[in-house]
Structure 1
Amino acid sequence: MKKLISLLFIIAISLSNTYGQSSQRAKNYLNEVSKRLSNYKNVSIDFSYSSRNDKDEQLNQDTKGHVDIQGDLYLLEFMGIKKIYDGKKIYTISSEDEEVTISKFNKEKSDGILPSHLLTFFQEGFTYQWDILASVKGRQIQYIKLFPIDESSSIKEVLLGVDDQSKDIYTKVQTNKNGTKTILTVNSFKTNQSISKNHFTFTESQYPNYYINKID
């Protein structure tokens, strides 16, 4: 019995050390990703977005989008809506409704999550686990698993895929506790583009027939 207890103790210590090494390896890898991203003046991303829920198929959706990001400034085109953030206000433009909604940025609101967060969300609030290296469309993608530290988080886990050569984010697969899984895949990732100084500026004269709804 003593031998069995000793063997189990050795196995437990070994597994603990292995997990610790895996966690540190994953953290170091993501630090490389963060360092590389911080060197970009701006990024321009074409992406695909998919949402699946086994409990309610009506919630399933597939769509594509585009976003330009420079610091916290952004221009996002997604699900038929264009959003511009100029550093102070968010301009939500609906061509279908011919309406522009103008609101102050508030990080506490649902639209307070900036697209730039996609590139940095993993820096805090998660534990890390090294995962597989897979070949995807001719590219080597290194996967890292992330688990929220906050037990009350609605997120169960996140699987982050990184292009192992460029260290750019390729995909983010988020599984929530309610069974919903969202998959964001980067189709095109361009950096340091020539962007005009007015790119993140809303020009009202470009929307002459639109209703301007100023919330605050």
Structure 2
Amino acid sequence: MKLNALKTKKIEMKTFSSKIITFCILFLLTISVSAQDKKAKDLLDQVTTKVKSYNNITIDFKYSLNNSKENINQDSKGNVTMKGNQYVLNFMGVTKVFDGKKTYTIVPEDEEITISTVNEKDDNAITPSKMLTFFNSGYKYTMDIVQNVKGRKIQYIKLVPVSTKDQRKEVLLGIDIQTKHIYNLIEIGKKGTKTTLTVNSFKTNQPLSKNQFTFAASKYPNYYINKLD
């Protein structure tokens, strides 16, 4: 792969990782929000209660990036398995593992693994608690439209960033009314970029290996391991 293409791929993976982590947090943590819209809060509480009843969740998803002005239209598929704050994400040929303390980014194409420790005190660190706090204090939210998607009733909740510096115009969270599962997450940028994460398959309480979220260097004997800390 050419250098510029490889660099672009890594940037896309980093950007997507932030989005999928945000998505995971919406699934796995209590959404404790101020009463801006009681109906929206009640629905989010139902989603949280339903999802917290599961021991683990496995999702197959589609990720779309669109910008008509720039003539950009990209689609990618991936999957993520989550248990508590641990996860394994497979996307764009890269595997990202978080064992609760460290993140392991495995890139087979480069035969390289990057290991980093999550620092709870780092204001820029992407952690469940930090992202949850950001979500609660950084948005205004209201009930939005209801759509019928292949016989499924999807209720959207609109989240509008409070900060004028935020490059996102709004975020739409689609929730299946019957199952109380998140169907999709749509981010609309101020410059016309629209990213959509859609759940294609939602499985719960699957039999997982006891080493599901454990990184073993012995599996990658020829890989270069880059420890960031």
Q: TM-score under structure 2 normalisation?
A: 0.75
> Structure 2 matches for 1:106-185, cutoff 5 A?
106=119, 112-113=125-126, 125-185=138-198
Tell me: CA distance 1:124–1:110, structure 2 relative to 1, closer, same or farther (3 Å): closer
Tell me: CA distance 1:120–1:48, structure 2 relative to 1, closer, same or farther (3 Å): farther
Aligned match of 1:202: 215
Aligned match of 1:87: 100
Aligned match of 1:11: none
Runs of 4+ in 1 over 6 A off after TM superposition: 107-111, 115-121
How many residues align? The count is: 195
1:96 counterpart = 2:109: yes
Aligned match of 1:55: 69
Matches of 1:168 and 1:117, distance apart in 2? 23
The two structures, once aligned, show a CA RMSD in angstroms of: 2.9
Tell me: CA distance 1:34–1:112, structure 2 relative to 1, closer, same or farther (3 Å): same
Aligned match of 1:25: 39
| Structure of larger gyration radius | 1
Matches of 1:100 and 1:124, distance apart in 2? 35
Task: Tell me which of 31, 35, 44 is aligned to 2:49.
Answer: 35
Which stretch of the first structure deviates more once superposed, 113-122 or 24-33?
113-122
Matches of 2:146 and 2:76, distance apart in 1? 27
Q: Please, which runs of 5 or more residues in structure 2 have no aligned partner?
A: 1-34
Q: TM-score under structure 1 normalisation?
A: 0.79
CA-CA distance at 1:88 after TM superposition: 1.5
CA-CA distance at 1:204 after TM superposition: 0.9
CA-CA distance at 1:117 after TM superposition: 9.2
Q: Is the 8 A contact 1:22 1:130 kept in 2?
A: no
Q: Is the 8 A contact 1:132 1:142 kept in 2?
A: yes
CA deviation profile, 1:54-109 (whole Å, cap 9, x unmatched): 33235x42101100111111100011100111111111101111111111124688
Q: Is the 8 A contact 1:69 1:116 kept in 2?
A: no
